[in-house]
Structure 1
Amino acid sequence: MSVRLRDLFLAPADGAPARRVAERVVPATVGVLGPPREGAIAAASVALATMGARRARCAVICRWDGREAAPRPGLASISARRLADRLERRGVQAAARGRLVTVGLAAEPAEARAAVERLLVAVEETPLVVLVAGPRPPALDPLLATLDRLVVVTALDAPPGLGDLALDEAAALGRSVARIDLPDTPLGSLVASTGRPFSPGLRAAATAALGGDRDG
């Protein structure tokens, strides 16, 4: 049984610590929690960094924001376009941009969770990021608790202490957690919209988050 399938269907042992080191040195599945704009930038940056570290040809971002909007395609790599086409044939709303494939999730959290669980099997070892862009519904918590790492991002103008509070809430899910501090650069939106790694600052921030700054 693969690690992904085991984590989806087997509950952790009783008494497991609330915070654990991710099972992989470089996580293959990552949850990104944050507001819509910053979340989109962080998710794209983390997906690209994960893809590079794992030497994958593309990565998948599953976006949940409480709305049901189909993702828009753009100029894409051959690998990303092929994966998006394969997912579309399976009835998944997917679109490729750059080296990333974005999947639009249903507004209903339980339905969105089930879709991601199916995708984890369908994409095999392709890195996958689950973006929760907005307040986190409890129905998504069991899914997030199966991912290798959770990354928290806050708005650039967020009040002091909000980032630490968000980290504590994410850590309660029992996975390795980290915070990504986005550099104040206009390239962030470009990375999110094109699926290409234009910003060295964002790449460095995402790589640091994948390494983790707050484990077990």
Structure 2
Amino acid sequence: MKIVKFLGGLGNQMFQYAFYLFLKQHFKQVKADITGFAGYSLHNGFELEDVFGIRLQQAGPFAIRLYTPERRDWATRKLRRLYGTKNAWYPEEKEFTYDPLIAVDKHPRYYWGYWQHYDYIKDIEPQLRKNFQFRERLKGENSKLLNEVSGLETVSLHVRRVITWVIPCWELFANRITTGKPLPAWSRSCRTPSLSFSPMTSPGAKSPCH
């Protein structure tokens, strides 16, 4: 059996769900561990079900006990040997990379990580697009914003925590789009994981920021 640990905010959960589906393509028994959200004070807890109506096959407490390394009592260690889960713990070694061995690894595994790489997603993209749809129609300001951007060439700027970069980087990219002037060398500092710029264009169109 394979168990995927779910943690973090909605974005991370979406990547972990993609990885969960990736594993299901290769193995019969794949389950989720969402127990870490009990008493979780960051973000909004486990959101996949509330936002998208996604329900996961969850691992039970006995399996989690055998697949994770926390319990070190004599009985648990003996059970791990009996069930072959002594080395089940499989943390992501390096973020934003693809591990090709995962798809052919037949051993029991407990996967801890974020698994953010296109190769985990590419074969299940249609299913993800279908499943990642809001359960409820947008209302209020969200609905108004959707109407404003629909049918336009829309630019999305995602800013995460590093507020000091917001104004200079936004002005920089806005100027690039409107004038076509090349980006200065220092703009490379805007392309960190804390600040991403995502032009949304029609299929096949080349982004003005490339």
Smaller-chain TM-score bracket? under 0.3
- Give me the TM-score of the superposition, normalised by structure 1: 0.27
- Give me the TM-score of the superposition, normalised by structure 2: 0.27
Q: Which structure is larger by alpha-carbon Rg, 1 or 2? A: 2
